[in-house]
Amino acid sequence: MAARALLRCGKPDYLAAHPELLLRLTIGLRKRDGRWVVTHEHHSFADTNP
């Protein structure tokens, strides 16, 4: 199973100047002994260079 999210990460003045910047987060989960355990985590910003 995977969980995905788009986040805004930064100080308020920076986020106001760059509202298009979103942090992508993906977390891979597996069930072990009846509990969900994080088995993989990845985060990245989109490449905004032309």
Specify if 25 maps to a domain.
Answer: yes
Q: Integer distance in angstroms from the first to the last C-alpha of the chain? A: 34
Q: CB of 6 within 8 A of CB of 22?
A: yes
**pLDDT tens sequence across 15-35:** 999 888 889 999 999 999 999
Q: pTM to 2 decimals? A: 0.68
pLDDT at 21: 86
Give the domain range for residue 38. 2-45
Query: CA-to-CA distance for 28 and 6, rounded, in angstroms?
Result: 15
Does 11 or 45 have the greater pLDDT score?
A: 11
Q: Where do we find the tokens 């920076």?
A: 14
Q: Where do we find the tokens 């355990």?
A: 37
Specify if 17 maps to a domain.
Answer: yes
CB atoms within 10 A of CB 38: 10
Specify if 50 maps to a domain.
Answer: no
Specify if 29 maps to a domain.
Answer: yes
Total number of domains in the chain: 1
